[in-house]
Amino acid sequence: MNEFALLLAATIASGTTVALAGLGLLLNEKAGVLNLGAEGMMLLAAVAGFAAALATGSDLMAFGAGALVGGLAAAVFGVLVIWLNTNQYATGLALSLFGAGLSAFIGQAYTGKKLQDQVIHEVPILSDLPFVGDAFFKQHPMAYVTVAMVVLCAWFLYRTRAGLVLRSVGESPESAHALGYPVRWIRLAAVVAGGALCGVAGAFLSVVYAPMWVEGLVAGRGWIALALTTFATWRPGRVLLGAYLFGGVTMLQFTLQGMGVQIASQLLAMLPYVATIVVLALISRNPLWIRINMPASLGRPFHPGA
Amino acid sequence: MLRLELENISKQYPAVKANDRVSLRVQPGEIHAVLGENGAGKSTLMKIIYGAVRPDEVTPRFNAQTLQAASPAAARALGISMVYQHFSLFDTLTAAENVWLGLDRSQSLAEVSRRIGEVASVYGLDVDPQRPVHTLSVGERQRVEIVRALLTNPQLLILDEPTSVLTPQAVDRLFVTLRQLAAGGCSILYISHKLDEIRALCHHCTVLRGGRVTGEVDPTQETNASLSRLMIGAEPPPLQHRPAAPGEVALEVRGLTLASDTPFGTALDDISLQLRRGEIVGIAGVSGNGQQELMAALSGEDVRADADAVRLFGAPVGRAGPRARREQGLHFVPEERLGRGAVPTMSLAHNTLLTRGEALGRAGWLRTGAMRAQAAALIERFKVKAGGPQAPARSLSGGNLQKFIVGREIDARPRVLVVSQPTWGVDVGAASQIRAELLALRDAGCAVLVVSEELEELFELSDRLHVIARGRLSPSVPVAQATVEQIGLWMSGLWDAGPAATETAAAAP
Amino acid sequence: MLRLEPRAQPSMAMSLASPLIALALTAVIAALLFVALGKDPVRGLSMFFFEPLNGLRPVTEVLLKATPLVLCALGLAVCYRSNVWNIGAEGQLLLGAIAGGGMALWLAESGFIGPRGAYAPLVLAAGVLGGMLWAGLTALLRDRFNASEILVSLMLVYVAQQLLNYLVFGPWKDPRGFNFPQTPTFDASTWLLPIARGMRLHWGAVVALVAIVVFWIFLFRSWRGYQLQVGGLAPAAARYAGFSSRQALWTALLISGGMAGLAGAMEAAGPLRQLTPHVSTGYGFTAIIVAFVGRLHPLGILLAGILLSMLLIGGELAQSRIGLPNALTGVFQGLLLFLLLACDTLIAHRVRWQGWRALSGRTVQ
């Protein structure tokens, strides 16, 4: 039983990175911008976060550095895509490739370095509860912040006027522009906020979850976060759910190995990616459903003068 | 004090002078028409008034003060409101949310919903605030737009081609609303190219042509002919309408029923029609009633129908794609030019290959010389103003591209030609040329089906007329016996009901 | 202030100049980076732009590395022109290597030994099939389930990498290889032979050159190529014309998968002559950059392939001769693509200097 509780705890820890990144991408996409550069942003932020943690010993500084770097990278992407109207797919890809290269370059100085040992985080009283305590209340504070962010995001999108404006920009930027809203600035704000969240996700990965830096650390989580937004039909709560599901599948490979299942480790390592493909296939199957839930202008450029 | 005063307003763009010393005067409570064909400069002028575009030197004066609207939001705050021809609505949001987005922040959503109800009852504009916009008909969506404009307590309301999406009865109701507004002191700028409506509704009319004002008249004292002369400089040549001599049945649709394949589309319900060689059959209807879906089923872009539901000279083609149907002699001109009738960035030569395979060599080799020659021949025969066969499709004006596309299909010597919105967004000269070509095609024995939202055009061209409403098709009526009122009724779907239907129609959306 | 003004017509001149401007800017930033790292910028730049072409042997090395890049990029160009966003070329390349390597190992084990290089065509054919299979998976999921080809093809890259690892650490490991993760060396009959003695450049380069001509014909003179491009430029027009988008999807993905698989098999049977976990150094991703810098045009791809090959080799030279980290190559590649995309705006827009008036608030629109 205790093992199951530990599995849940590991699932939550593993899913937090993808949840944060997925939330950031959700904001992007609600405004109508598809950012394929998530992987690159997370890699850059992971290095930045690790460097900050190494220098200051503070998790908070690491998350701040990650958010800063993620937001900056997203801003460059945003200016190119929103003002210069470059192709969203190609520019996002460029960001991912550039981020991979730059993070490998800068990260050379940090490969093999070790951070200070992590403090054990326990929520007072609640963590002493049987099973539930082990499963849910011994997480790094960022796990709880992530859940809070999901709630905050849902409230923002569906209960505030600003959220309505954001959704309308994603729905039809031409109409929003005709009504006088600064569509391009709104989109940029969404992109930068999304980038910052992806940045925190990357920093969490290198500073808390792994914790280390090695080239290619993110291992496709940025892409999985992108798949997540489709899987979640662009709703914050479902992003969290999907992230934990993914975290669970990732943990599954270790559990199976621990149970002595005779499958090669490399084949087990395929599990998260295969699971993502399966999930994508199941969700995308109904094109009508996707059409209704997807922000209608996703991926299409916006020309104010047209 | 004048509500709005424009004196020598000009606007120069890189390629064209959109407005050239335009002057305009609107009194409080006046309904003022701005008449002109496509490209005359009407929309630029409205954008200047509405704050979306800055004029070159002089600025307009509003209520005797210089108009400093830096943006549409600023214009709204000053009391200028605009209802666009193409709605600025968000499909997945409710009517109330849509209206709320169009107002400034000071009111809450609940308050706005309440005020919508108030305005609706005062002006007779029925709008349910909680319905998502994608469930509304086009006429209802326009009402949401108008309510949104009215909630800003405008002193000047600008309407851009408001009646293109309305049945004749709905147009009458709109006019009642507008007269009520004007009586309350609101000035109205009414942009249109429909001469009958302007003469029926407006107190004053400014006519634009080529960016300049060609006349400032009282439309109630003018005739259609005189207004037309001001608008295009001459009367269009009358069409030679010879009597039809219909031959064998070319296209037959029987019991066509098709669910919509998009979330916001219209389902087709038991549609039947017959099209004979040597005649033009028109289908009237307000947009959004199934025309797009019917066109796709006829052109072959939608192949989900029963094979028998569509028959071409007796052969079942319901499941056949566009290429197979073209081989049997059915050609189609779609309503969207750029992006569907032609690929915008490709040359005219490459665009001929979309529907004409003559320039293809063996094993699918592209004979570029033959493609160029074919395009050049089309340009010459249909008097298309273009930079040559290598010019990209998007470099042509709307009218010229339409001439090219219609020409490409006519030149294929089809046995059946289906045309959707043949002269939408096309200047008057090109429009009459296209209509003359369609008549000539019909005289040569082709069967022609025209779907259009312009009733006058259908009355001019067709021998028989159907109406499509909510996915159903009315029986046909010879044009000589049809009246605008009857067609208007049918547009509300009431073709097989009796006199009681007339009252229902007057009250229906 | 600078302002962007849309042009009436896209500029052909800019279309050709844009990659060159992007390259120049990349070189400038590279030079600055060298200085920041305490190295001589001229020496640094020469490692990338001069040394790789300095002599016959270096040129053959450039062409050797350019071969898989060009092959992959040609297939990707067809995909991107059809608006099919295949970014899993790396995975398809790996599957091609696996299939080709598998064929080579099977031939040797089954006793099919022949003269040097005789069975290379079989190995390459297997590679093409392997790549097509992997791309076909992506096509199937998009065709049947409407799943995004971007995400599926990417996920399959990670799966392919794990598959290769599994095979070289497991069932295909050389029993006499001292437990290193590698397959036995392929028998000489399956080798892809060098063009001349003393160089590593193999006949695959000739195949690549032929492919450039074939693809030009396909894209610009064939009916099928026309249909694909209409589908990519204006899907509604393609539907109106009666072109099958499903056929377009499968054609594009199978072609690009086959090309990537071919490239992978060539790497395995050419310079490497065995399978290891490092069959590809990210060629599939670099090929994406080659495709864009080459303007999705076969001739451009030839030039871009050579350019990026020079960057790759330059990175290795810079590391061994002046101590610059090899990871810089990845930075420059990504930077080049970014700058290219930014410079491409100049094709559709003109930059105008509006003077200092703009700062005083009296703008004229």
Contact A165 B101 (CB under 8 A): yes
Domain of C311, in residue numbers: 40-323
Q: Distance between CA atoms of A252 and A246, rounded to whole angstroms?
A: 10
Structure-block tokens of residue B104: 């400034």
Residue A306 has pLDDT above 50, yes or no: no
Task: Give the model's pLDDT for residue A283.
Answer: 86
Residue C224 lies in a domain: yes
Residue C253 lies in a domain: yes
Identify whether the C-beta of residue C240 lies closer than 8 Å to the C-beta of residue C169: no
Residue C309 has pLDDT above 60, yes or no: yes
- Residue found under tokens 């309308």: A168
* Strand stretches in B424-490, DSSP E: 447-452, 464-469, 472-473, 477-478
Task: Give the model's pLDDT for residue C2.
Answer: 63
Average pLDDT of each block of 10 consecutive residues along chain B (509 residues)?
A: 84 78 89 84 84 80 80 82 84 90 82 88 83 84 89 90 81 89 92 86 89 88 82 69 82 92 83 94 88 94 92 93 94 94 95 94 92 95 91 89 95 95 85 91 94 88 92 91 84 65 48
* Strand stretches in chain A, DSSP E: none
- Closest partner residue to A292 (CB to CB) among B105, B109, B263 is B263
List C353's β-bridge partners, or say none. Answer: C2
| Closest among B255, B260, B249 to B309, alpha carbons compared | B255
Query: What amino acid occupies position A20?
Result: L
CATH number at residue A282: 1.10.3470.10
Q: Which of A169, A175, A288, A303 to mutate to test the interface with B (most CBs of B within 10 A)?
A: A175
**Averaged pLDDT for residues C193-199:** 82
Show which of residues 140-169 on chain A sit within 8 Å of chain B, judged by CB atoms: 161, 164-165, 167-168
Q: Distance between CA atoms of B192 and B187, rounded to whole angstroms?
A: 16
* Architecture of the CATH domain B4-232: 3-Layer(aba) Sandwich (3.40)
Q: Distance between CA atoms of C66 and C68, rounded to whole angstroms?
A: 6
Show which of residues 224-263 on chain B sit within 8 Å of chain A, judged by CB atoms: 261-263
Instruction: Residue A168: list chain B partners with CB under 8 A.
Output: 90, 93, 101
Q: Distance between CA atoms of A110 and B492, rounded to whole angstroms?
A: 73
- Closest partner residue to B323 (CB to CB) among C221, C224, C242 is C242
- Residue found under tokens 């001001």: B230
Distance from C217 to chain B by nearest Cα, in Å?
9
Contact C240 B334 (CB under 8 A): yes
Domain of A60, in residue numbers: 2-293
Chain center to CA of A76: 18
Identify whether the C-beta of residue B148 lies closer than 8 Å to the C-beta of residue B84: no
Residue C148 lies in a domain: yes
Residue C275 lies in a domain: yes
Q: Is C223 on the interface with B (CB under 8 A)?
A: yes
Residue A203 lies in a domain: yes
Identify whether the C-beta of residue B331 lies closer than 8 Å to the C-beta of residue B418: yes
* ipTM field: 0.88
Q: Distance between CA atoms of B355 and C287, rounded to whole angstroms?
A: 35
Q: Domain tally for chain C?
A: 1
Reported confidence tier of residue A231, pLDDT bands at 50, 70, 90: confident
**Averaged pLDDT for residues A34-39:** 94
Which chains border A (3 or more CB–CB pairs < 8 Å)? B, C
Secondary structure of B272-287 as H, E, C letters: EEEEECCCEEEEECCC
Interface contacts (B, C; CB < 8 Å):
68
CATH number at residue C66: 1.10.3470
Interface contacts (A, C; CB < 8 Å):
139
| Chain B CA closest to residue A289 | B263
| Chain A CA closest to residue C138 | A277
- Residue found under tokens 């460059």: A76
Show which of residues 426-455 on chain B sit within 8 Å of chain A, judged by CB atoms: none
Distances (CA, A) of B117 to B95, B97, B110, B120, C301: 11, 14, 11, 5, 63
Structure-block tokens of residue C25: 């800017």
How many residues does the structure list for chain A?
Answer: 306
Which chains border B (3 or more CB–CB pairs < 8 Å)? A, C
Cβ neighbours, 10 Å, residue A181: 20
Instruction: Residue B71: list chain A partners with CB under 8 A.
Output: 180
Helices (H), chain A: 2-30, 38-56, 59-78, 88-107, 132-136, 141-159, 161-171, 173-178, 183-204, 221-231, 236-258, 265-269, 271-284, 287-293
CATH number listed for the domain at residues B249-507: 3.40.50.300
Identify whether the C-beta of residue C137 lies closer than 8 Å to the C-beta of residue C156: yes
For a pLDDT cut of 90, what percent of chain C falls above it? Answer: 59
Contact C242 B334 (CB under 8 A): no
Helices (H), B124-194: 138-150, 168-183
SS3 B87: coil
Q: Domain tally for chain A?
A: 1
| Chain B CA closest to residue A177 | B88
Residue C63 lies in a domain: yes
| DSSP character at residue A115 | P
- Closest partner residue to C341 (CB to CB) among A80, A230, A282 is A80
Q: Distance between CA atoms of B198 and B224, rounded to whole angstroms?
A: 10
Distance from B83 to chain A by nearest Cα, in Å?
10
Identify whether the C-beta of residue B58 lies closer than 8 Å to the C-beta of residue B67: no
Instruction: Residue A83: list chain C partners with CB under 8 A.
Output: 4
Q: Is B91 on the interface with A (CB under 8 A)?
A: yes
Phi, psi at A295, each rounded to 5°: -60, 125
Residue C272 lies in a domain: yes
Residue A123 lies in a domain: yes
DSSP B197-217: HHHHH-SEEEEEETTEEEEEE
Query: What would the pLDDT profile of C96-132 be if each residue is shown by its tens digit?
Result: 999 999 999 999 888 888 888 888 999 999 999 999 9
| Chain A CA closest to residue B260 | A288
Reported confidence tier of residue C364, pLDDT bands at 50, 70, 90: very low
| Chain A CA closest to residue B44 | A305
Contact B332 C240 (CB under 8 A): yes
| Chain C CA closest to residue B15 | C8
Task: Give the model's pLDDT for residue C355.
Answer: 61
Instruction: Residue B56: list chain C partners with CB under 8 A.
Output: 364
Q: Is C276 on the interface with B (CB under 8 A)?
A: no
Question: Where is C272: in which H helix or E strand?
Answer: none
Task: Give the model's pLDDT for residue C95.
Answer: 97
Phi, psi at C175, each rounded to 5°: -65, -20
Q: Distance between CA atoms of A59 and A43, rounded to whole angstroms?
A: 17
Contact A220 C158 (CB under 8 A): yes
| Chain B CA closest to residue A293 | B92
Q: Is A178 on the interface with B (CB under 8 A)?
A: yes
Query: What would the pLDDT profile of C22-60 be if each residue is shown by its tens digit?
Result: 999 999 999 998 998 888 888 888 889 988 888 888 899
Query: What would the pLDDT profile of C53-104 be if each residue is shown by its tens digit?
Result: 888 888 999 999 999 999 999 999 999 999 999 999 999 999 999 999 999 9
Q: Which of A295-304, B493-502, C137-146 has the lowest mean pLDDT?
A: B493-502
| Chain B CA closest to residue C217 | B365
Contact C240 B350 (CB under 8 A): no
Task: Give the model's pLDDT for residue C361.
Answer: 39
Instruction: Residue A213: list chain C partners with CB under 8 A.
Output: none
Structure-block tokens of residue C306: 């050579």
- Closest partner residue to B336 (CB to CB) among C223, C236, C364 is C236
Cβ neighbours, 10 Å, residue C15: 16
Contact C147 A104 (CB under 8 A): no
Contact C337 A276 (CB under 8 A): no
| Chain B CA closest to residue C237 | B340
Identify whether the C-beta of residue A202 lies closer than 8 Å to the C-beta of residue A45: yes
Question: Where is B92: in which H helix or E strand?
Answer: none
Query: What amino acid occupies position C174?
Result: D
- Closest partner residue to C155 (CB to CB) among A76, A85, A273 is A273
Query: What amino acid occupies position C270?
Result: G
Q: Distance between CA atoms of C248 and C231, rounded to whole angstroms?
A: 8
Contacts (Cβ under 8 Å, ≥6 apart) of B480? none
Contact A164 B93 (CB under 8 A): yes
CB-neighbour burial class of residue C245 (10 A; exposed 0-12, middle 13-18, buried 19+): middle
Structure-block tokens of residue C335: 């930077």
Query: What would the pLDDT profile of A47-57 be if each residue is shown by its tens digit?
Result: 999 999 999 98
Question: Where is C351: in which H helix or E strand?
Answer: strand C349-353
**Averaged pLDDT for residues A77-101:** 91
Q: Round the CA-based radius of gyration of chain C to a whole number and report it.
A: 22
- Closest partner residue to B322 (CB to CB) among C8, C220, C241 is C241
Q: Which of C151, C335, C345 to mutate to test the interface with A (most CBs of A within 10 A)?
A: C151
Structure-block tokens of residue C76: 């990707």
Q: Distance between CA atoms of B122 and B184, rounded to whole angstroms?
A: 12
Query: What would the pLDDT profile of A97-143 be if each residue is shown by its tens digit?
Result: 999 999 999 998 888 888 877 777 777 777 777 777 777 888 888 89
How many residues does the structure list for chain C?
Answer: 365
Interface contacts (A, B; CB < 8 Å):
50
